[in-house]
């Protein structure tokens, strides 16, 4: 399983997926969504100001 994942990540499709993930990580809207999900998982979903 791990070897298959390594092969995927080192191949062209894996590089494209990694580049797409990096672009999404830089997007402020994506960051806000992730923060919202993490807040929900941490127990609350309350907005902390």
pLDDT tens, residue by residue, 3-38? 999 999 899 999 999 999 999 999 999 999 999 999
Burial degree of 21 (CB within 10 A; 0-12, 13-18, 19+)? exposed
Q: Which domain holds residue 15?
A: 2-41
21 in any annotated domain: yes
Q: Is residue 49 part of a domain?
A: no
**Is 32 domain-assigned?**
yes
Domain for residue 46, yes or no?
Answer: no
Domain count, the chain: 1
> Is 13 a member of any domain?
yes
pLDDT recorded at residue 33: 93
35 lies in some domain: yes
Q: Tokens 């993930």, residue?
A: 21
pLDDT given for residue 48 in this prediction: 56
Domain contains 47: no
pTM assigned to the model: 0.54
Gap between the Cα atoms of 46 and 44, Å rounded: 5
pLDDT at 49 over 80: no
Output the pLDDT for position 26. 94
Widest pairwise Cα distance in the chain: 44
């Amino acid at each position: 399983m791990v070897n298959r994942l390594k092969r995927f990540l080192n191949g062209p499709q894996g590089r494209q997926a990694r580049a797409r993930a990096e672009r999404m990580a830089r997007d402020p809207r994506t960051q806000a969504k992730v923060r919202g999900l993490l807040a929900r998982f941490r127990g609350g979903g309350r907005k902390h100001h």
